[in-house]
Chains A and B, each alone.
Chain A
Amino acid sequence: MILLWFIVILLAGGVGAWIAARWSANAARWVALAAVSLDFVLAIQLWISSLGQFDLFRRAVWIRELDVPWVPQLGIHFHLAMDGLSLLMVVLTMFLGILSVLASWREITEGVGFFHWNLMWILAGITSVFVAIDLFLFYFAWELMLIPMYFLIAIWGHGNRTYAALKFFLFTQISGLLMLVSILALAFLHQRATGVFSFQYETLLGTGIAPSTALWIMLGFFVAFAVKMPVFPFHPWLPDAHTEAPTAGSVILAGLMLKTGAYGLIRFVMPLFPDAARQFAPVALALGVVGILYGALLAFGQTDLKRLVAYTSVSHLGFVLVGIFSWNELALQGAVVTMIAHGVSTGGLFVLVGALQERIHTREMARMGGLWATIPRLSGAAMVFALASLGLPGLADFVGEVLVLLGAWENHRLVAVLATVGILAATLYALRFIQRAFHGPNIHQWQLPDLHFREAAVVGSMIAVLLWLGLYPRPVLDTFAPTSERLRQTNMYVRR
């Protein structure tokens, strides 16, 4: 039941914020903040209360589950369930949700009610994606999170927002339809084999499909997830969408929406099509490595800060893809840690770039330089996130990427070597960013207000999370362990 509450609170919060905006803009902001904070508290409470339950050999897979028939005529259930992986993602969703409400506090001044409605409904859609395990419901939620995101970019975005929003929508919509066809094909093949027509995850696991067919069906899922992640060459929507979106939109896109793609690979592609996915792994690994290097290279060439951060996402998500398809437990753990670490560190960078843009009304690096002198706190925070992004030990990204590399090294030496070059490239773009924006002489004579309390709280809490995960990632790994164990059984992983 708590799973339903997560979603309902957000949906209601959105409607509430829209209504509250009739009285005052601040009321809308507070309502949205209250709703997502309540969800955050509930999620943390659930995590703490179930910490003891992540026993590797527990029989029950799900921590919480809710299953109600929805359209029984078509075998569709409203089936939500949460395991460790979903829990981690939901906690991340609520954490970044709070931060994105706070980050838009002063940035959004027009249509505040509708803005927060969109924000809350995106979060509700993402939460549903992370807990839906009826494939129809999953697809439903997958599509549902698009529309509010589209509005968020198209209405409150910058410059070329209409184009960016359209591109985002079309890429995800068409790839989503391919996934729908795959879902249906899977359901009908299952029906042909067993006589049961169902979209239930547990039922469809272990459907015997001819290898050639399985590859095609898996590709339908893979393309949908690859567009979201985004995997090279499905990434062209990402730089535009990230750059033109308002801060909250960028944070949610990078921090959460990209993760739905990676989550989908772990939750659906691997267990549903173990053989086909394994057969496909070399291609996926190659795409991952190309993404790592290509993203880093392009990030190095950008002068627009948001575009720079956007391309680093392509690079980091390349690590996630390599981690998933390296086919061992270590790399997979690395992928999950990277998902969370990237959400926080990139989210932090977008918050800071947004704060900077509010102050100097540009994102061009050439218009900056020497900012450390006038805004030391903002600059220092930016350096922490940049260092996290380049994989400095002690911060979260390091843990994830090193685990991925160690895992990849066991099965695919060349991939690990090339991915390491990617980390090197990350050092270049991150340091260049810090050097050009914050160091050197203050040639444009900027005199700016530094981070104020609300911004400092947002950034500070993100840094704290990065440090925590960098120094003591154990709780995350423990929480993920049962899911990983289950994958090991279906996908015949090597344990260490």
Chain B
Amino acid sequence: MTATDFSAILPMILIAAASVAVMLAVAVRRHHAVSAAITLLGLALAFAALWPASAVVPRQVTALLLVDRFALFFTGLVIAGTLAVAVLTWSYLSRRQGDHDEMYILLLVSALGAVVLTSASHFASFFLGLELLSVPLYVMIAYLHARKQSVEAALKYMILAGAASAFLLFGMALVYAEMGTLAFAHIAGRLAGSAQGGSLVLLPALALILVGIGFKLAVVPFHMWTPDVYEGAPAPVTAFIATVSKCAVFALMLRLFEGTGAGELPQVSALFDILAIASMVAGNVLALLQRNVKRLLAYSSIAHLGYILVAFQVGGDFGMNAVAFYFVAYFVTLLGAFGIVGALAGPGRDADQIDDYRGLFWRRPLIAGVFTAMLLSLAGIPLTAGFLAKFYVVAAGASTALWLLILTLVVTSGVGVYYYLRVIVALYATETAAGPMPAVPTGAGVVLGVLTAALLFLGVYPGPLLDVIRATVRF
């Protein structure tokens, strides 16, 4: 390893160092604010380290990590998302009794796993990153262990994640048996070399790997855990699972399937079509039945992953750019939505029933306005980032004439508007919900303000972000 290698992976090093620093600080003296401050500082430095790193890319660091512009874009997104989650966590935990410092260590380790995934170019680093991302999540979900449903959610997630990892490992084993190597680059060479594409061993191997990935992305039919875990986990952790964890795995999937050309095998491509359509349909239809905002957002995020898979199926630069833009919009929107659910949480439970929001506009116009903007963005209404993201996906789909996928997207997102409007109807209802409503903590307020500004800015003037995405998100 040379100094250049180190500057390429500087973001990872800084995040790892921050987690160690929090650990040491806790050993000296527990202090919530200090732990949170170290976490934020570490993440901010890691984000700043993207610039030195971008000076030396693309660079293969050992056989495991390939740091290129693509990796740095998603690393930046993951770090920014984690930063928002960290602030939301601080606001959320400040209101609760108990030891809070471990949460930050877990959050940082999990984020490190996500960053590793964005640069993984080898099955070993893929698995390492995935487990680094997942294992802390088991604890984070059950962090408020006094709540029964949190523990249940954590157990459910752990068992299913274990099963998914088993599928994944079996798939990797088959790949190794077939090719004798675990580097992604060899799959590309192999596929380019063989005339008929995938072999009888490679195709099942890819399918098994897809099961593991599908579980993390929570696409139908691997979505069963999603509503329970989203409901049981503390709101900021839910936000982390919904955004950072999915985005990192998706980045890896792009590299594995798009970068090597494995996604273009007809059988694999058909699988992705099925996943996309099933997610869009099931996610939107099941969301119609929910009375709990967290479960509603869970199904909605399943549907959104379906939309992103449409862009993935387009492939090429256009498709990948659409994926990247959609993820940015998705981050802003979901972090905002879960941020509000967490910010309005009472001491006992999160504000997760639709009825909790009844008439919120007449009591708290500002926070209700922010929530409305987030919901409209999820529904894909103009002036918001979600609109342009959906537009980009439909444009990408139209450019390659994926009419079936586009039609499914249009019809299901029409259905989707209905359940977002149900929440909005509650927000503006003239009769208000009973019970006290806690004030929005300053930290969460700042994050929500920034996210809303980003939402509107991207919805009205997406040019600068598009420039960044076009320059970075390609192989």
Contact = CB atoms under 8 A, between A and B. Distances in A.
A180 B398 CA distance: 10
A180 B421 contact: no
Contacts of A181: 394, 398, 406-407, 410
20 contacts: A71-B463, A71-B466, A73-B470, A136-B391, A139-B382, A144-B383, A146-B381, A154-B428, A155-B430, A166-B418, A166-B421, A170-B414, A173-B414, A174-B411, A174-B417, A177-B410, A177-B413, A180-B394, A181-B394, A184-B398
A170 B418 contact: yes
A147 B376 contact: yes
Contacts of A141: 382
B382 A140 contact: yes
Interface in A53-81: 70-74
A188 interface: yes
Contacts of A185: 398
Q: Main SS of chain A's interface residues?
A: helix
A74 B469 CA distance: 13
Contacts of B398: 181, 184-185, 187-188
Interface residues of B, number: 30
Nearest to A137: B382
Contacts of B428: 151, 154-155
Interface in A143-181: 143-144, 146-147, 150-151, 154-155, 162, 165-166, 169-170, 173-174, 177-178, 180-181
Nearest to B361: A114
A155 B463 CA distance: 36
3 pairs of A and B residues whose beta carbons are closest in the complex: A174-B414, A184-B398, A73-B466
B247 to A, nearest CB: 22
Contacts of B199: none
B381 A147 contact: yes
Which among A165, A184, A188 has the greatest number of chain B C-beta atoms within 10 A?
A184
Nearest to A125: B382
Interface in B393-443: 394-395, 398-399, 406-407, 410-411, 413-414, 417-418, 421, 425, 428, 430
A136 B398 CA distance: 15
B412 to A, nearest CB: 10
Given A71-B462, A166-B421, A174-B414, A180 B383 contact: no
A66 B427 CA distance: 38
Contact of A170 (B391, B406, B417, B430): B417
A55 B461 CA distance: 38
A144 B382 contact: yes
Nearest to B392: A74
A347 B332 CA distance: 42
Given A73-B463, A143-B387, A177 B470 contact: no
A145 to B, nearest CB: 10
B467 A73 contact: yes
A187 B398 CA distance: 9
B19 to A, nearest CB: 38
A135 to B, nearest CB: 12
Contacts of A72: 463
Contacts of A178: 410
Nearest to B466: A73
B322 to A, nearest CB: 11
Nearest to B321: A73
A26 to B, nearest CB: 20
B466 A173 contact: no
Given A140-B382, A178-B410, A74 B395 contact: yes
Nearest to A175: B414
Given A71-B463, A165-B425, 11 more contacts: A71-B466, A74-B395, A110-B430, A144-B381, A155-B428, A173-B417, A177-B414, A181-B394, A181-B406, A181-B407, A185-B398
A188 B376 contact: no
Contacts of B413: 177
Interface in A226-266: none
Nearest to B413: A177
Contacts of B382: 139-141, 143-144
B408 to A, nearest CB: 12
Contacts of A151: 428
Contact of A184 (B394, B411, B418, B466): B394
B425 A143 contact: no
A81 B453 CA distance: 30
A166 B288 CA distance: 14
A181 B393 CA distance: 11
A466 B392 CA distance: 46
Interface in B444-475: 461-463, 466-467, 470
